[in-house]
Amino acid sequence: MKIKVTADSTCDLTPELIERYGITITPLRVNCGEGDMRDGVDIDPDGLYEKIRATGRLATTAAVNVQEYVDVFTALRESYDAVIHFTISAEMSACCQNARIAAEEVGGVYVVDSRSLSTGIGHLVLDACDMAAAGMDAADIHAALEAKREKLDVSFVVDTLEYLRKGGRCSALAAMGANLLRLHPCIFVKDGVMGVGKKYRGSLKECVCAYIKDRLADPETVDAGRIFITDSGVSEDIRAAAEEQVRALAPFQQVIHTRAGCTVSCHCGPGTLGILFYRK
């Protein structure tokens, strides 16, 4: 069975991984007041931050629409027996609903609601590619990954709550208190939605290391196959410190750094870093 794996741009995989696995990406839309731009195609995160600084206004994001999905799925079905598509959590975006409507119209398309975001989706996408290469049936891959998504551990530490505040995901009072106290909250994903966890105090580098220590405190529960260290724009020093901490705490076979795309960066802002992995 010839299967094509596709995903929304919110999967935050590197261009190298996308090319190596032959993944087709459907970009969400980003609007900085100058019309819609395609995430990762017409604008990158650094360009996004530049525009936000220049205008003082937070950018907005929009889901891939049904017709865009229909066009992509239809074109791929001409060459593939089936398409497996991954979306950001249905609780966070209309992407999943739109993709499912398009899938019904086109046929032979299996849509997986990741119940996650960023490289939490990326884990599922790479697993699907491996399963397809091993000859698994599309329906079996779909079922396997809907089960495996429940084992994802997805979280981030944010440098500033300002972007989450402007996006309506955090109160002005909470943002002000966090900034005054130099707090860096942990944002985690559970049951498809974001929540606020432990709040760390100190420099971003100190908080990142403390956060990683907490997340990997029980290595016996960690699937040490692959971990993503994904950030929305941090210094090389912080990236290096994060990897050093990860490697000191758990024997991961693969430690992969990725940069979050515009959709995630738009809502979390610069200075966000997370580790994303599976639990056993």
At 183-238, the pLDDT tens digits run 788 889 999 988 888 889 889 999 999 999 999 999 999 999 999 999 999 999 99
* Level-2 CATH architecture, domain 152-279: 2-Layer Sandwich (3.30)
Distance from C-alpha of 15 to C-alpha of 94, rounded to nearest angstrom: 25
The pTM score is: 0.93
Confidence of residue 274 (pLDDT cuts 50, 70, 90): very high
* Level-2 CATH architecture, domain 3-150: 3-Layer(aba) Sandwich (3.40)
Q: Which residue has the higher pLDDT, 197 or 73?
A: 73
Confidence of residue 164 (pLDDT cuts 50, 70, 90): low
Distance from C-alpha of 128 to C-alpha of 45, rounded to nearest angstrom: 27
Distance from C-alpha of 273 to C-alpha of 242, rounded to nearest angstrom: 9
Longest dimension (CA), the chain: 57
Predicted confidence at residue 54, as pLDDT, reads: 86
At 134-147, the pLDDT tens digits run 999 999 999 999 99
- Kindly list the distances between the CA atom of residue 222 and the CA atoms of 202, 217, 225, in Å, as whole numbers in the listed order: 27, 9, 9
Q: Name the residue among 47, 100, 106 with its Cα closest to residue 73.
A: 106
- Kindly list the distances between the CA atom of residue 23 and the CA atoms of 3, 15, 31, 160, 276, in Å, as whole numbers in the listed order: 11, 10, 25, 32, 20
Evaluate if residue 166 carries a pLDDT over 60: no
Evaluate if residue 256 carries a pLDDT over 60: yes
- Kindly list the distances between the CA atom of residue 258 and the CA atoms of 1, 77, 115, in Å, as whole numbers in the listed order: 31, 30, 20
At 75-97, the pLDDT tens digits run 999 999 999 999 999 999 999 99
How much is the average pLDDT of 23-36? 92
Predicted confidence at residue 150, as pLDDT, reads: 96
Show me where the domains of the chain are located.
3-150, 152-279
Same fold, 3-150 and 152-279: no
Q: Name the residue among 178, 140, 152 with its Cα closest to residue 269.
A: 178
| Residue 174 burial (10 A CB sphere; 0-12, 13-18, 19+) | middle
Distance from C-alpha of 107 to C-alpha of 3, rounded to nearest angstrom: 13
